[in-house]
Amino acid sequence: MKTFLHADALPEFRNKWVGDLAWAITSPSLIESCGDPDSHVDGIAILQDQWCGGRSGEILDWLRDLDEHPAPLNDWMDGARDRRLGALFERLLCFWLESGPSPWRMVCNSLQVIDEKRTLGEMDFILEDLGTGRFFSVEVAVKFYIGVGEMLSMDDFVGPRVMDRLGRKWRHLVGRQCRLHQEPASRIALEPYTGSHPVQPAMLIKGRLFVPWSVYSRTEEGGSPRIPLENNFAGLVGGWWMCCREFADVYDGHTAVILRKLDYFGPLNPAISPTLNRLVVGPDIRSGFFLDNEKTPVACSVIDQVTGGEKSRGWIVPDDWKGLHPAG
């Protein structure tokens, strides 16, 4: 199931936060259920096309206008105290739901559930579908994982430091976060906002899965951007990973840009990020990416030699990265 406008095909916005907001709204779901056209898992909706509600033209026009006058969005994002990616992603969505054309009414954000002075958790968004009047408790997540091993299981996708795994995050979303609304204390917390109406659990999970270059190159040649996972799920391939030697062979002579965490969301626009670290890819590229004792992958974007925009993105992985040698 495709979104109304693939994030990689969006116009090149001049403002970084507008580009990131466009990606947050329009990028495909990181996970989809292949056996369910409406994409559910255990009664939990995985929001995809219905997230934008068919308002593609209005949203795109709004984003273009916002790119011309970005001060409200800049002020909103610059005011974020929590600079973690998940918190910034949630803040971007909050701006759209409050200020932009959307099929939802944001009833509340970050609703804490407390039972006898003990905090049970927090519901990210309580939304009302303006078309049906139904209420949804929507948990949001944004994740970036590197595929290792056979890549048949969600546990085969790990974070750069290997401690985080897609499987672990998925089980927590399905088994805990998206079921918080069922707690008796949650019903009490929800009552002022939803009355006696039922609340449908849902998740919005965005991000990218990075696969070995040999797999990624097939998607560039017209293959599916989805990779099959267990239980009839599929994950979104959003980039590659390579060791330095392979990277130097594949992209010899190209310019690569080392990405900061704040650059992980939307496609990179080098014109608005002049301070980013740029390197010309060649045989000695390792010294540009890693310190002598560095054992963690480095995210980068490769610049298209014709357009000057982002050609692809991925992770440069040290030969001794522990994600490649889990037994060690």
Q: Which domain holds residue 120?
A: 7-241
Q: Does 133 fall in a domain?
A: yes
Whether residue 164 is predicted with pLDDT greater than 80 in this model: the reply is: yes
Query: What is the rounded CA–CA span in Å between residue 302 and residue 289?
Result: 13
In a 13 Å sphere around the CA of 155, the CA atoms on its Cβ side amount to 4
Q: Does 297 fall in a domain?
A: no
In this structure, how many other beta carbons lie within 10 angstroms of the beta carbon of residue 326? 11
Q: What is the pLDDT of residue 76?
A: 97
Mean pLDDT for 143-158 is: 94
Whether residue 136 is predicted with pLDDT greater than 90 in this model: the reply is: yes
Q: Does 126 fall in a domain?
A: yes
Whether residue 192 is predicted with pLDDT greater than 70 in this model: the reply is: yes
Whether residue 325 is predicted with pLDDT greater than 60 in this model: the reply is: yes
Q: What is the pLDDT of residue 179?
A: 92
pLDDT tens, position by position, 251-303: 999 999 989 999 999 988 877 766 677 788 877 766 666 655 567 899 999 99
Q: What is the pLDDT of residue 2?
A: 37
Pick the more confident residue, 54 or 185: 185
Q: Does 135 fall in a domain?
A: yes
193 φ, ψ (degrees, to nearest 5): -105, -35
How many structural domains are present in the chain?
1
Q: What is the pLDDT of residue 56?
A: 80
Query: What is the rounded CA–CA span in Å between residue 198 and residue 126?
Result: 12
pTM: 0.90
| Mean per-residue pLDDT of the chain | 87
Q: What is the pLDDT of residue 4?
A: 40
Q: Are 314 and 239 in contact (CB under 8 A)?
A: yes
84 pLDDT tier (thresholds 50, 70, 90): very high
Whether residue 113 is predicted with pLDDT greater than 70 in this model: the reply is: yes
pLDDT tens, position by position, 6-56: 545 577 899 999 999 999 998 889 998 876 656 778 889 898 766 776 788
What is the 3-state secondary structure of the chain? CCCCCCHHHCCCCCCHHHHHHHHHHHCCCCEEECCCCCCEECCEEECCHHHCCCCHHHHHHHHHHHHHCCHHHHHHHHCCCCCCHHHHHHHHHHHHHHHCCCCEEEEEEEEEEEECCEEEEEEEEEEEECCCCCEEEEEEEEEEEEECCCCCCHHHEECCCCCCEHHHHHHHHHHCHHHHHHCHHHHHHHHHHHCCCCEEEEEEEEEEEEEEHHHHHHHHCCCCCEEECHHHEEEEEEEEEEEHHHHHHHCCCCEEEECCHHHCCCCCCHHHCCCCCEEECCCCCHHHHCCCCCCCCEEEEEECCCCCCEEEEEEEECCCCHHHCCCC
C-alpha gyration radius of the chain: 20
Whether residue 79 is predicted with pLDDT greater than 90 in this model: the reply is: yes
Q: Does 17 fall in a domain?
A: yes
Q: What is the pLDDT of residue 226?
A: 87
Q: Does 176 fall in a domain?
A: yes
128 pLDDT tier (thresholds 50, 70, 90): very high
Q: Does 286 fall in a domain?
A: no
